[in-house]
Structure 1
């Protein structure tokens, strides 16, 4: 039973670290950009868009499709950065413990 007790302590410690990580991610932000910085989009660590900055040079009727594409590209950039940040946090949380393929935290 000693091993079970140790395992439960480890699980509780991981739950505590998970809660801390989630709180940290709520405060974190990432900014993606496209068009050489003409469009900048900010996401929270949870993936919620919190800001959008569009250069005034793109605010022309004939630039509508370009602007739409740049916003999508900026979002993709920010999302990739957010996912990388989350992966790094998870790596530190699990102590580099390799998780089975498809096993994702938080549950």
Structure 2
């Protein structure tokens, strides 16, 4: 159909693929708000739940760690759980983006979003 147009046929295919990728990326971004990951510290005494977008959604603290003398330890455990949840959220988002690029036949090392 585009034989007489030289490389323009390829360009039209590339544009269609780019539009498809843009649509799928938008859907994935929306989906990442609903995917939850849980970060832990202190052998599960503190748990932080975050969306795959990195938004902190919940914090669960075992009451056994509350002791007036251990305030700094509790604060450290909370921070560690939140950081763990954020790292897991980032990994999950990257994993989902990788699935998208694989499905579209894009190079494995392509970083999305641009």
Structure with max Cα Rg = 2
Aligned to 1:99: 109
TM-score for the superposition, normalised by structure 1: 0.89
1:34 aligns with 2:46: no
Provide the rounded CA distance (Å) in 2 between the counterparts of 1:29 and 1:93: 19
List runs of 5+ in structure 2 lacking aligned partners: 1-7
Aligned to 1:58: 65
Task: Spell out the pairing of 1:1-107 with structure 2 (5 A cutoff).
Answer: 1-95=8-102, 97-99=107-109, 104-107=111-114
Equivalent pairs counted in the alignment come to: 104
Q: RMSD between aligned alpha carbons?
A: 1.3
TM-score for the superposition, normalised by structure 2: 0.84
